[in-house]
Structures are given as structure tokens and as C-alpha cells.
Chains A and B, each alone.
Chain A
Amino acid sequence: MSETSVAKKARPLSPHLQVYRLPLPAVSSITHRFTGIALTVGTLVLTWWLVAAASGPDDFDTAQHVLGSPIGLLCLLGWTWAFGYHLLKGIQHLIWDTGTGITNASARRSSALVFGGSFVLTAIVWIAAFAL
């Protein structure tokens, strides 16, 4: 092979989303979006819960009953994780806005920290909620 064809082969390819394994910061970034959208939908439930609390004991009991059902608890568990994730990722973004930590290595490290921290935070909240 001539030198030019080797050089041609080594050129970077444009990533195709269906076959390209996203690096951790990219997965972390799109997860931030998804959790943000999920939390936006969750504000409907929050509003419903507050309005139920303001409406009287019966409506509040209904809301607590729905949220306390297996499906309700599963949604709340997902909501807690989304909340923790979006909070930690948001802090990472605010730090990035100051110009700190914007290197590939640092972004990989902090993104791993965000994922790990989100699970730790979820565990703490749920253990505390059941223990108290």
C-alpha cells in the first residue's frame, strides 16, 4: 500500500449514531436531557399532590394512596433517581460554565461521578424515607 492510502484509512470517520458507541460524557449529557424532560412531566404530579393537599383529607388520601401503590412507588423511585441525577449533572454544568474541568479526562471522571452519585443519592433518600 502506498503512503497516501494508509493516510486515507487513518482519517477519522464521522460517527454514525446507530453504530457508534457513545463516550461516557455523551451518554451522561443525553441522560441529563431525558431526566430533565421526565422531571418536567413530574411537575404535573407535584402540582396534583399539592392541589390534593389543599382540597381536603379525602383527596389527599387518594393522592397518597396512588403514590403509595406499587406503580406509584416505582414512579417515585425513578423520579428520585432522575432528580438526583439532574441535580448532580446540573452542578457539573454550572462548574463547566466557569470554565473549570473541560478536558476529556476530567469530563469522563466527573460524568462517572455524576452517575455513581445519582445512585448513592437515591439510596440515601429511600433508606431515609423508610427509616424515619
Chain B
Amino acid sequence: MASTSDNGFRTRLGRVRGLGSAKSGGAHWLAYRMVAVLLVPLTVWFLISIVRLAKAEQADAIAWLHQPVNAVLLLITLIATFHHAAAGMREVYEDYIHGKLARLIAIGLTNGAAILLAAASVFAVLKIAFGA
């Protein structure tokens, strides 16, 4: 209450807004949940699809990805999956790695790997989808 900018006219909400422990924790939590909800139907669709492609030749997999519906759904599934994996691993690190620097490095490396794998898999899908 001793803050110079606090002249007594600011509302209680105005005083606490943006002062959460992680500043953006709420948005991070919500994004993690929203993507998880999205992944429920997507992964069910994905499981059914790979069951049908279990004994596929490359030509079958390519024909499957040539259908725009499959390509688009797979792209969303991949991006959502890597977002979810990175967010989940971050939660594990935050629980078990107590050194600040080690935790930061683990989170950073995982995010970097997730972006790299997401880009590689998205590129592969696009290459097949747009290919002859």
C-alpha cells in the first residue's frame, strides 16, 4: 500500500492485475487446457487413421495425405501435439528440477526440440500433400 503510484483511487483489481507469480500463468494454463480439449477428438481420429494405414505401402499413405481433409487435420494434430508435449514436459521440469538455470535450460531445449520436430513433420506432410 506504500507504493507512490497508489493514490487510493485505483480499484483492487487494478492494483493486482498483472502481478501474478508468473505474470502469464493464467494464459499458459488455459492454453494447455484448450489444446488438450482439442486433442481429444483429433487423437481419436488419428488413432483410427493409423489403424487403417497399419499395413500401408507408401503409395497408400500418400494417397491418404492427398485428401485435403486428412492433411489439414493431421497438421492441426501435429501442432497441437507438440504444443501439448512441450507444455507437459515443462510442468514435469517445474516440479522436479529445482535449480533455476537447469530448469530454464531444460524448458528451452524442449521448446526448441518441439519447434524443430513440429516444423519437420509439418513440412513432411505439406510436401506429401502438395506432391504429385
Contact surface of A with B, Cβ cutoff 8 Å: 33, 36-37, 39-40, 43-44, 46-47, 50-51, 53-54, 56-57, 60-61, 64, 80, 83, 87, 90-91, 93-94, 97, 125, 128-130, 132
Contacts and interface: CB of A to CB of B under 8 A. Distances in A.
Nearest to A127: B51
B125 interface: yes
B121 A132 contact: no
Interface stretch (B8-16, B82-90, B100-108): B82-90
B121 A90 contact: no
A60 to B, nearest CB: 4
A54 B124 contact: yes
A50 B121 contact: yes
Interface of B: 33, 36-37, 39-40, 43-44, 47, 51-52, 54, 56-59, 61-62, 65, 81-82, 85, 88-89, 92, 117, 120-121, 123-125, 127-128, 131
11 contacts: A37-B89, A40-B89, A43-B85, A47-B117, A53-B124, A54-B123, A57-B57, A90-B39, A94-B33, A125-B47, A128-B51
B47 A61 contact: no
B40 A90 contact: yes
Contacts of A51: 120-121, 124
Q: Determine the main DSSP class of B at the interface with A.
A: helix
Contacts of A80: 47
Contacts of B36: 90, 93-94
Contacts of A91: 40
Nearest to B52: A132
Nearest to B117: A47
A127 B124 CA distance: 29
Nearest to B96: A33
Contacts of A46: 121
B40 A33 contact: no
Contacts of A43: 81-82, 85, 117
